[in-house]
Homo-oligomer: A and B are copies of this chain.
């Protein structure tokens, strides 16, 4: 399961197709893309914070959804249209201030569905702050 896009190609695609997610600046950056796995860095802006400086739940859900999309996109290429059909997330600990890294692995890349496991942790931290599983519907004729 080899990626078919580079990190730069994925980022260029995101900027072009989803300009709305960059309205507050380049908060989402693809850190790496390797066989079956992608990592995305998220720098929260004020709207993503909650009292105490912790990143909000919805910001982590958005991060999981986007990072899951990135690992799928990187393996099926930019022509494909993938849409989320299911996302399940467990919130485990309050994030400390600082960037979050979402590491997503392809559990399955099928003809119709892709399933991704997504672990979110503070940079350099072993303990996860959240864990998600996402399913995307992928186009069969690719």
Q: With a CB–CB cut-off of 8 A, which chain B residues contact A108? A: 90, 92-93, 128
Cα–Cα distance between A66 and B86 once the two chains are bound (Å) = 18
Cα–Cα distance between A58 and B107 once the two chains are bound (Å) = 20
Please name the residue on chain B nearest to A62 by beta carbon.
Answer: B58
What band does the interface of chain A fall in when counting residues whose beta carbon is under 8 Å from B?
Answer: 35 or more
Is there contact, CB below 8 Å, between A115 and B131? yes
Please name the residue on chain B nearest to A18 by beta carbon.
Answer: B50
* Additional A-B contacts beyond A85-B113, A87-B89 (12; CB < 8 A): A57-B84, A58-B62, A58-B65, A86-B90, A87-B88, A88-B133, A90-B107, A92-B108, A117-B117, A117-B131, A131-B133, A133-B133
